[in-house]
Structure 1
Amino acid sequence: MNKNLSQTHNSTLLEDVKTLKRMEMSLKKSKELDQTENMDLSAKLFNLAECKDEMWNPEKFSLMYGTWLWDHSTPAQKVKLNQLYWIAYYAQIISAEIATIFFNQTAAAAMYGLEDFKIVCDTLDLESAQERTHINAFKVISEKYEEEVFGERIFTYPMRTPFVKTMLYSDLSKMQEWFRTWQLRTYSVLSSNSAFIGCQYFTVRGLRTLNGKMVQHQLSRYYTEHANKENSPIPSKVSYYHFMDESFHFNTSSVISHEVINSLPAASKFEKMVANMSLEGCQRDHYNFSTAINGIFWYDPALYPLIYKVLRSKIFNMSHLEALEALRKSFCEESEGMIQSHQTHQESIDSYKHYLADFKYINKTNRDMLIMSENKLEKHLKTNRDAFKKFRSKAA
């Protein structure tokens, strides 16, 4: 089409032949390798009795791995901790993917208001459909597990809207949670009306997916390296199917945030400010690292009540005082598990810096990841110890 007739700004995605071809090829391959059917079938076939005595992840991806609790657990208890890592990890992924479904669509609404962005919007439509399938599989498996093992929810939760805080276990106060909800609602309006702001979601999503990719690739290897793939645990298969889909989702985030954005109208000062605010919000979400679950940036003290329930359950059969002492030794003493989680946090900071290195509108706080970098191992230990004293006092 004649550019003078079709375009409302000087740049066009149609003129960026390299990026357009990348988007077209990625969408084609994503459709060909779409794991929706496998995910849906896995959710239907899951039967805990068939895999209750086997690990679902590589051993180091176990709840409380490398802590006092792990070191003093029986082989059977370690299997349960390994399975609980899967439940906890994908509980967080569900929360992130609920947000993805919504903000994919607000960004698409803004981009579709410009010419030539149909290929991007079609890609986001496919991804949103895949995310719904992922969420369903994670929820079905996790809820069946917790119902059979505990008879109540531990890490699972009812469906939620995208306006609830994305990071499930954080150190936000009630007021801060309310403010975060207000921010998300405001961002939804802005991102559906500004293609630049809409695209900034994929900068944030790229960082979040970058962290997830580091862990999920290793989770998927439990299936790919299993001696008997056909009879491997269904949750392990789901980890693999999810990683297959998410590999394309990460590519989408990278292409939109680094390349598609160059075909948009120049950003205003306000749009750049919003972009940096969203990245600072991501840093705050990822400020903490968890001793309990390597690879998810949860706030340890928020997990004390949940881990206490696990310790008091039939898996460990601990008394009240035994459970409190196990919590203290596991969360308040430096351990190999805590060190590994801290290392993952540091690796994420470095990878985020690299991802953002060529973004011209990024401020120093985000370019150098100054907020995330403030959290050190010593600070983490002090936070855990101070919070445990309060938890023990209330639990007495």
Structure 2
Amino acid sequence: MVKNTELSCTINPPSFKNERLAQKPFKVMENIFQNNTNSNYTERIHELEKNFVYSSNSDSYWSEPEQSILYGTPLYEAASSSQKIALNHLYWAIQYSKVPADEATTIIFNQITGSVFSNLGGFGTLCQELELETSQEHYHIHAFQRISRLTKKALLCNKLKQSYLPKIKFNDRLKSLPNLNFLTESLKIPDFLERSSYSTLRFINRFMLESQGQKPGKYLQELENKNEFIQVPTDGIFSKFPFRRQTVQLLTFNFGTSPFLASHYYALRLIANMMLKNWEYNYAKYFRTLEKNAEFIPAPTSVSYFHFLDESFHTTISKTIAQDLYKVFSKPTAYELTIANMTLYLMQLNLKGLSGAIPYRFIQDDLSFMGFFYQLLQTPIFDLSASEALYWLEKCFCQEHEGFHLTFNHHQRLLSNLCQTFVDVEYFWPINREMRLMASGDNIGKSVQSNIKTFKRFSQSLAYL
């Protein structure tokens, strides 16, 4: 573990009306905290990141070939061995370029929800576990940022325009790592419109929650006393929410006031944990195979392996809170139930599609995504002309191929796992308990047809560049 505070597991749980319901989650959280405290996975990640040199890892696959961008497409089948290795490395770099947005959200909401649990008293072990997770996430983000950046620089030679890159706006602000002061930085409300929006959302929180006797956590209270609000990343798990900035600000107030909604946040976090595990588990398997055979283990593979182990603690905490801890609090109001279920419904938008170019990606391919690959095909990896790149782009995105089927199968597996995980969560609406919106995206034919329309728009847009 990374020690940044004095940690203790001796705090007893508070007294609840139903002690039987409280015993299970508190026991699990205490065990997880102890195991996480005694682990050294974060230190291993930090050491690997510090010593990473791309050229020392460039000749080997970092995972099984199926974890490569464009895997299963006609272009992948025609690629040379060196091109396939490059696509395998780019998959790691692209996937782990997205993870920091989720982990930055975790850092912030660990503090927001932790202060709610702290208000109640008796949740010391949980609060310390969340503090420990926050410390670990700092190192994870820094490792992913650095290794991804060096990998893309080596393979792409800075040939991609920023306008076509996947939109991960929050990552642009990850420049002060490892200090990460910006993650707890609060922004002054800059103008009348911002102040009006803030006041409206604050009023909703006061009227719907605080008027019912619920008290904001210390974290939010300190911000309000300074007339500040926190800048929460709107990518990651919130990327498909409508009116993202305002919606996430409202959720910040709600999750930072209501114990029930603070617990519900971990249902959203659990989905993100399971989405990550769905593809990261394969890196752990690959690591173990190489280790068993006494073969060279690339540093990024090792980083994935130790991150998988670190995240296993975080996932268990998410699962325990989402499935059990909410039961020890007062029954939720109609407002709390609505907020909880609407956020879960919107979360499913991150899982309502099949990508034709990146395995395990469950968001429909869009114009920006096609633009990224259009430029990728003209980098030194393939060195295609503009017309050749457009030809292969259509073949990769606009016809059924093995890559679609691979992603479809893993979408089905994740769907099944999520339904099993949430089957006994009492307050979920059926559409959320059964993940029906996610299930509606399980259609290769619809994905191909959508890509055909998007490709047509993209090819027409090239005339204006």
TM-score past 0.5 threshold? yes
What does 1:17-166 align with in structure 2 at a 5 Å threshold?
A: 17-152=23-158, 157-159=171-173, 162-166=232-236
Change in CA separation of 1:394 and 1:22 when aligned onto 2, cut-off 3 Å? same
CA contact (8 A) 1:165 1:181 kept: no
In structure 2, the residue corresponding to 1:312 is in which secondary structure?
coil
CA contact (8 A) 1:167 1:298 kept: no
2:374 pairs with one of 292, 296, 308: 308
CA contact (8 A) 1:56 1:83 kept: yes
Give, as a single letter, the amino acid of the residue that structure 2 aligns with 1:267. Answer: P
Change in CA separation of 1:162 and 1:65 when aligned onto 2, cut-off 3 Å? farther
Where does residue 380 of structure 1 map in the other structure? 447
Q: Deviations over 1:22-53 (max 9, x none)?
A: 11111111111241211111111000110112
1:261 pairs with one of 306, 321, 326: 326
Deviates more, 1:77-86 or 1:118-127: 118-127
* Distance across 1 between alignment mates of 2:424 and 2:57: 46
CA contact (8 A) 2:96 2:144 kept: yes
* Distance across 2 between alignment mates of 1:222 and 1:310: 27
* Distance across 2 between alignment mates of 1:115 and 1:262: 17
In structure 2, the residue corresponding to 1:98 is in which secondary structure?
helix
Where does residue 348 of structure 1 map in the other structure? 414
* Distance across 1 between alignment mates of 2:313 and 2:237: 23
Displacement, 1:125?
0.9
* Distance across 2 between alignment mates of 1:339 and 1:151: 32
Displacement, 1:124?
0.9
* Distance across 2 between alignment mates of 1:309 and 1:133: 31
Q: Which runs of 5+ in 1 are unaligned?
A: 1-5
Displacement, 1:110?
1.2
Q: Deviations over 1:298-319 (max 9, x none)?
A: 3312311111121000110000
How many residue pairs match? The answer is 384
1:208 pairs with one of 249, 266, 272: 272
CA contact (8 A) 2:117 2:259 kept: yes
CA contact (8 A) 1:92 1:167 kept: no
Where does residue 3 of structure 1 map in the other structure? none
Give, as a single letter, the amino acid of the residue that structure 1 aligns with 2:257. Answer: N
TM-score by length of 2: 0.78
Give, as a single letter, the amino acid of the residue that structure 2 aligns with 1:247. Answer: S
Percent identity between the aligned chains?
A: 28
* Distance across 2 between alignment mates of 1:110 and 1:12: 20
Give, as a single letter, the amino acid of the residue that structure 1 aligns with 2:112. Answer: T
1:297 pairs with one of 356, 362, 380: 362
* Distance across 2 between alignment mates of 1:105 and 1:262: 21
* Distance across 1 between alignment mates of 2:146 and 2:92: 13
In structure 2, the residue corresponding to 1:267 is in which secondary structure?
coil
1:364 aligned onto 2:370: no
In structure 2, the residue corresponding to 1:251 is in which secondary structure?
helix
* Distance across 1 between alignment mates of 2:123 and 2:330: 13
In structure 2, the residue corresponding to 1:288 is in which secondary structure?
coil
Displacement, 1:115?
2.2
Aligned residues: CA RMSD = 2.2
Change in CA separation of 1:361 and 1:18 when aligned onto 2, cut-off 3 Å? closer
* Distance across 2 between alignment mates of 1:18 and 1:367: 22
* Distance across 1 between alignment mates of 2:381 and 2:236: 29
1:320 pairs with one of 382, 386, 389: 386
Give, as a single letter, the amino acid of the residue that structure 2 aligns with 1:190. Answer: N
* Distance across 2 between alignment mates of 1:321 and 1:81: 21
Displacement, 1:158?
1.6
1:337 aligned onto 2:351: no
